Amino acid sequence: MKIGNFSRLSRRRIACVPAVLFCLWLLSLLSCVPSAPKVASRGNHQLTQVSVINALMLGRYEGLMPIGELLEHGDFGVGTLDHLDGELILLDGAAYQVRGDGEVVGVDAERSTPFAVVTRFEPDGEFPCPLVTNLTELDSRLDTHLPQKNNFLAIRIEGRFASLKLRSVHRQEPPYRPLADVARSQSVWEYRDIAGTLLAIRCPRSADHEVGGHVLDCAVSGGRLRYEVCRDWLIKLESTAAGNLVNLGEDLSREVRRVESAREDEKPK
Amino acid sequence: MKIGNFSRLSRRRIACVPAVLFCLWLLSLLSCVPSAPKVASRGNHQLTQVSVINALMLGRYEGLMPIGELLEHGDFGVGTLDHLDGELILLDGAAYQVRGDGEVVGVDAERSTPFAVVTRFEPDGEFPCPLVTNLTELDSRLDTHLPQKNNFLAIRIEGRFASLKLRSVHRQEPPYRPLADVARSQSVWEYRDIAGTLLAIRCPRSADHEVGGHVLDCAVSGGRLRYEVCRDWLIKLESTAAGNLVNLGEDLSREVRRVESAREDEKPK
């Protein structure tokens, strides 16, 4: 683990976006991470997903895969840690945790994830990042630029952000509450004019109920975007006795949307 | 290809269940197929799925994966062939086509599938097959015996069937009609007191919209059941330009149910 990077990141308190918030996009931001040697390709552009979004929505926060094993599946991705302990970000083969207090620290290989989406990032193309004033506009502009609606896309933006709104959550202890409950006490930060790397996973339309995305708001003032089209989608399903008691077939799309759109000022009175 | 098996199967006109009909179960039947040498294990109990059910529902019948490549992913499974050309069955490493006229023939490795679900069958357990009078009862009894609701199950029944109702469809030509339309002209056969191998894939509750199952009715008068719990789920997504024009995010669960429950006597007047 390159602890040097983490302390620098830590001081800047940049990079958040919690695992709490899910929609079509999984978005995360890390700032000033130096490039690491590229992981060898497996040539299949595979997206590997640990568990399914409904499991996380229902409070399955115990880790299912060690971070060390997750890094064998990809060098780029987002997720959360066991106990829903903040945001997990994989970038250039290193694993970062964005804690509930906004600090960014390295993640031990022995820790584990209950939910993550990762790939071995190998760009299929690139273009200048659209300059936008908010996340909705970024979604829309990228939909125009990237017509691969029925595949996962891994998107990496080295950009400058005029504004940025990020969130994370604090570590939870069992008995776990559903994610929609936990999200009500999330932490939110705002930044102005900062540079960083934004990671996004865009889900295909057929997978809306399987995975989701963190939500942050942002205005992009400049940057370069690279993307990878993922044709293979590997889902690692939980197979414990306890996991089988959970009704993952329930339609939680409304709760997912509610969590996604949750704002501090929308807390229930 | 073991043509000898096919001709014997062909004479008996057993084994059908079309790719037309989808629900929680994917069921297929083959009769009197001798055991072949076991394919070497990959040790991960992976279920590999070609495409998603909505793509097939919307008429994406062009083959996406050659049968030769499909057999590298598993020796057991069900699906359909390019042009929706009947039912595809993989058993003991051999590929069979149940044509629209009910004949069972071998499949060339060069043919391809637009939708299939296969695994390398390695049983995790076995028990005597519940004796039931219809498919609904079989579903229910197996749900009791097999609590792994959040994993795929591959199920193989060497059984005797007091009655059996099977279906298939005829090869389609472009421009392709949606599956719900094609299913209205499906072929249906009924049998009494026959022996055979029934293949089933039970989908987890979280995957209802991703894959589905063929429907046949049956009464089981005896047999042995073996099952495998699949923890890994690999989906091969189409990534063609034409494929990206299809809206796979549409909720087609109603159409899937309608196709599933379609009977000859329910044809529109």
Interval A51-101: pLDDT, tens? 988 899 999 999 999 999 999 999 999 999 999 999 899 999 999 998 888
- Provide the token pair at B36: 């072949």
Q: Do A150 and B238 touch (CB under 8 A)?
A: yes
The pLDDT assigned to B259 comes to 67
Q: Does A143 contact B at CB distance below 8 Å? A: no
- Contact B3/B25 with Cβ under 8 angstroms? no
Residues of B in contact with A247 (CB under 8 A): 149, 205
Q: Does B149 contact A at CB distance below 8 Å? A: yes
- Provide the token pair at B125: 């357990």
The pLDDT assigned to B11 comes to 27
Residues of B in contact with A233 (CB under 8 A): 234-235, 237
Q: What is the DSSP letter of B75?
A: S
A-interface mutation test, from B46, B49, B72, B150, most A Cβ less than 10 A away: B150
- Torsion angle of the four alpha carbons A155, A6, A92, A161, in this order, in degrees rounded to the nearest 10: 30
Q: Which of A14, A16, A26, A59 is nearest to A260 (CA)?
A: A26
Burial of B160 (0-12, 13-18, 19+ CB in 10 A): middle
The minimal CB distance from B239 to the residues A231, A248, A249 is found for A231
CA–CA dist A261, A223 (Å, integer): 26
Q: Does A69 contact B at CB distance below 8 Å? A: no
Per DSSP, the residues of A98-163 read E-TTS-EEE--TT-EESEEEEE----SEEEEPPPBSSHHHHHHHHHHH---TTSEEEEEEEEEEEE
Positive or negative: CA dihedral A189, A192, A194, A200: positive
- Provide the token pair at B23: 């629900």
Q: Does A229 contact B at CB distance below 8 Å? A: yes
In A, minimum Cα distance to B150 occurs at A244
A-interface mutation test, from B65, B151, B235, B245, most A Cβ less than 10 A away: B235
- Provide the token pair at A153: 């896309």
Residues of A in contact with B52 (CB under 8 A): 206
Helical spans, DSSP H, in chain A: 3-12, 53-57, 67-73, 135-145, 179-182, 253-261
- The segments of chain A whose pLDDT lies below 70 read 1-44, 206-216, 257-269
B-interface mutation test, from A47, A52, A150, A233, most B Cβ less than 10 A away: A150
- Contact B178/B198 with Cβ under 8 angstroms? no
The pLDDT assigned to B164 comes to 85
The pLDDT assigned to A198 comes to 87
Cis peptide upstream of residue A175 (ω within 30 degrees of 0): yes
CA–CA dist A221, A231 (Å, integer): 31
The pLDDT assigned to B166 comes to 83
User: Residues with Cβ < 8 Å from A243, sequence gap 6 or more?
Assistant: A55, A60, B150
- The segments of chain B whose pLDDT lies below 50 read 1-26, 32-42, 209-215, 262-269
Distance from CA of B39 to the nearest CA of A (A): 22
pTM reported for the whole predicted model: 0.82
Q: Which amino acid, B142?
A: L
Q: What is the pLDDT of residues B167-188, one digit of tens each?
A: 888 999 999 999 999 988 888 8
